């Protein structure tokens, strides 16, 4: 797959997700327009794929084929550090429009996948929300507000009721940029296999997850009335009565280490644990059929000495607007006096509340004996 094909697939994915949101908000016209654009992009992709396969089928010199086979993302990054010329296969690993000018690079595709996989090990909260790729720096969504009152009874010939029009709340997003510099030793830079990949991946992922999780939890808490839950019975009652049954579809329970310890220590009237094991995922526990997602106390802090808890459909409750990909740039001049190369990474995102009625935010305390 070449760069053009990856770009087309990214556009198809982004427009399809946007069309789904419009369709879910009953804006069929905009959804249909986006799907027409998707059809056009799909045709363009199919043509590009045929061209790519035709080009790949051409006979290449054995030397070039051997070189192409060894191409890898971090090998490309190392050559970029040294300002060495990239061959065609190595250039194909670079995503974005700045790959040829030697100034600003986007992360190679295989490194991107490596970082995405590693991010999971740091318990990213992005799985709790709906992630929407965007190419714009700002925008907004319209969400229905108020409670429908239903249709009004009438007799034949009566005027149809015109009250109770739907109302909407507009919620804007504005992409914010986050980034840091990674100082790379010029000695280490010459020995890429000695740990450069692990160093960059772990350093970046840990920092990125901390920033993303902080923003996600802050958005989920915004303007929510804190509900104090004491004991598992109170939590069960709240899930049954305070949430719309639709919010339980795809619902979760989110808490920190302290909150999980509270729930994991609770017993029912027969002395049995109130949490059940997930057959498909033995390391995960459930309550009332909802999976429990646990985050470190350092990331999701206690509130007034009590553990925080979210329950309901948090994916409907918040959107994570993600601008483009992870942008990497390199300078061997910025830290010249320290014999280091500066590796800069930047990502852009914003988190907004969506359906605030889809989940509840509160605190959980043990059952009072």
Q: Tell me the average pLDDT across 226-241.
A: 96
Of residues 356 and 98, which shows the higher confidence score?
356
pLDDT given for residue 155 in this prediction:
80
At 1-31, the pLDDT tens digits run 677 877 788 788 888 888 888 887 888 888 8
Lowest mean pLDDT among 87-101, 230-244, 278-292, 317-331: 87-101
197 — pLDDT class (breaks 50, 70, 90): low
60 — pLDDT class (breaks 50, 70, 90): very low
Place of tokens 């061209």: 51
pLDDT given for residue 303 in this prediction:
94
Q: How many residues does the chain have?
A: 369
Query: Six-digit token pair at 236?
Result: 């069960």
pLDDT given for residue 107 in this prediction:
53
pLDDT given for residue 105 in this prediction:
45
Q: Tell me the average pLDDT across 39-60.
A: 75
Of residues 342 and 107, which shows the higher confidence score?
342
Rounded CA-CA distance 245/257 in Å is: 27
pLDDT given for residue 195 in this prediction:
55
pLDDT given for residue 24 in this prediction:
78
Residue 240 scores a pLDDT above 50: yes
- Greatest mean pLDDT among 71-80, 97-106, 175-184 lies in 175-184
CATH entry, 71-141+166-369, from 3.90.1690, 3.30.420, 3.10.110, 1.10.150: 3.90.1690
pLDDT given for residue 151 in this prediction:
78
pLDDT given for residue 99 in this prediction:
42
Nearest to 172 by CA among 143, 145, 144: 143
Residue 209 scores a pLDDT above 80: yes
Of residues 70 and 350, which shows the higher confidence score?
350
62 — pLDDT class (breaks 50, 70, 90): very low
Nearest to 287 by CA among 266, 256, 318, 314: 266
pLDDT given for residue 102 in this prediction:
43
Q: Tell me the average pLDDT across 89-117.
A: 54
Q: Please, which residues bridge with residue 286 across strands?
A: 276, 291
Rounded CA-CA distance 6/13 in Å is: 11
pLDDT given for residue 63 in this prediction:
45
Contact (CB, 8 A) for 38 and 15: yes
pLDDT given for residue 141 in this prediction:
75
User: Per-domain residue ranges for the chain?
Assistant: 1-62, 71-141+166-369
The rounded mean pLDDT for the chain is: 79
Contacts of 36 (CB under 8 A, 6+ apart): none
Secondary structure in 3-state letters for the chain: CCHHHHHHHHHHHHHHHHHHHHHHCCCHHHHHHHHHHHHHHHHHHHHHHHHHHHHHCCCCCHHHHHHHHCCCHHHHHHHHHCCCCCCHHHHHCCCCCCCCCCCCEECCHHHHHHHHHHHHCCCCHHHHCEEEEECCCEEEEEEEECCCCCCCCCCCCCCCCCCCCCEEEEEEEECEEEEEEEEEEHHHHCCHHHCHHHHHHHHHHHHHHHHHHHHHHHHHHCCCCCEEEECHHHHHHHHHHCCCHHHHCCCEEEEEHHHHHHHHHCECCCCCECCEECCCCCCCEEECCEEEEEECCCCCCCECCEEEEEEECHHHHEEEEEEEEEEEEEECCCCHHHCEEEEEEEEEEEEEECCHHHEEEEEEECCCC
At 108-143, the pLDDT tens digits run 555 655 655 555 556 889 999 998 888 888 888 776
Q: Judge residue 34's burial from the number of C-beta atoms within 10 Å of its C-beta, 0-12 exposed, 13-18 middle, 19 or more buried.
A: buried
Residue 64 scores a pLDDT above 60: no
Residue 191 scores a pLDDT above 70: no
Residue 92 scores a pLDDT above 60: yes
Residue 32 scores a pLDDT above 80: yes
Rounded CA-CA distance 164/183 in Å is: 60
Rounded CA-CA distance 286/193 in Å is: 42
Residue 325 scores a pLDDT above 70: no
Residue 304 scores a pLDDT above 50: yes
Q: What percent of the chain has pLDDT over 70?
A: 72
Contact (CB, 8 A) for 25 and 142: yes
Q: Tell me the average pLDDT across 220-231.
A: 94
Contact (CB, 8 A) for 182 and 189: no
Q: Which long-range contacts (CB under 8 A, 24 or more apart) does 270-277 make?
A: 274/232
């Amino acid at each position: 797959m070449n760069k053009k094909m990856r770009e087309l697939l990214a556009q198809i994915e982004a427009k399809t997700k946007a069309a789904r949101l419009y369709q879910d908000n009953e804006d069929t016209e905009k959804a249909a327009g986006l799907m027409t654009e998707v059809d056009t992009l799909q045709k363009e992709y199919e043509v590009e794929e045929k061209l790519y396969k035709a080009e790949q089928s051409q006979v290449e010199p054995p030397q070039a084929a051997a070189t192409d086979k060894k191409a890898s993302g971090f090998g490309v990054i190392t050559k970029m550090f040294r300002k060495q010329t990239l061959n065609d296969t190595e250039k194909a690993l670079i995503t974005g429009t700045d790959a040829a000018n030697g100034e600003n690079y986007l992360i190679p595709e295989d490194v991107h996948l490596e970082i995405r996989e590693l991010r999971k090990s740091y318990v990213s909260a992005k799985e709790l929300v709906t992630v929407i790729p965007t190419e714009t720096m700002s925008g907004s969504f319209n969400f229905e507000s108020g409670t429908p009152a239903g249709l009004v009874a009438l007799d034949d010939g009566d005027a149809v009721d015109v009250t109770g029009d739907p109302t909407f709340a507009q919620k804007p997003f504005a992409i914010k940029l986050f980034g840091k510099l990674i100082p790379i030793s010029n000695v280490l830079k010459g020995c890429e296999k000695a740990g450069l990949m692990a160093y960059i991946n772990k350093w970046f992922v840990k920092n990125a997850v901390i920033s993303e999780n902080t923003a996600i939890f802050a958005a989920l808490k915004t303007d929510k009335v804190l509900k104090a839950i004491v004991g598992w019975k109170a939590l069960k009652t709240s899930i049954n009565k305070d949430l719309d049954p639709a919010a339980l579809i795809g619902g979760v329970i989110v808490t920190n280490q302290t909150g999980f310890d509270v729930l994991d220590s609770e017993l029912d009237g027969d002395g049995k644990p109130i949490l059940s094991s997930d057959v498909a995922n033995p390391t995960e526990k459930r309550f009332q059929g909802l999976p429990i997602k646990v985050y470190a106390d350092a990331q999701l802090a206690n509130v007034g000495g009590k553990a925080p808890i979210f329950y309901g459909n948090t994916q409907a409750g918040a959107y994570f607007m993600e601008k483009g990909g992870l942008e990497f740039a390199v300078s061997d001049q910025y830290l010249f006096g320290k014999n280091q190369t500066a590796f800069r990474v930047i990502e852009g995102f914003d988190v907004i509340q969506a359906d605030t009625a889809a989940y509840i935010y509160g605190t959980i305390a043990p059952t009072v004996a």
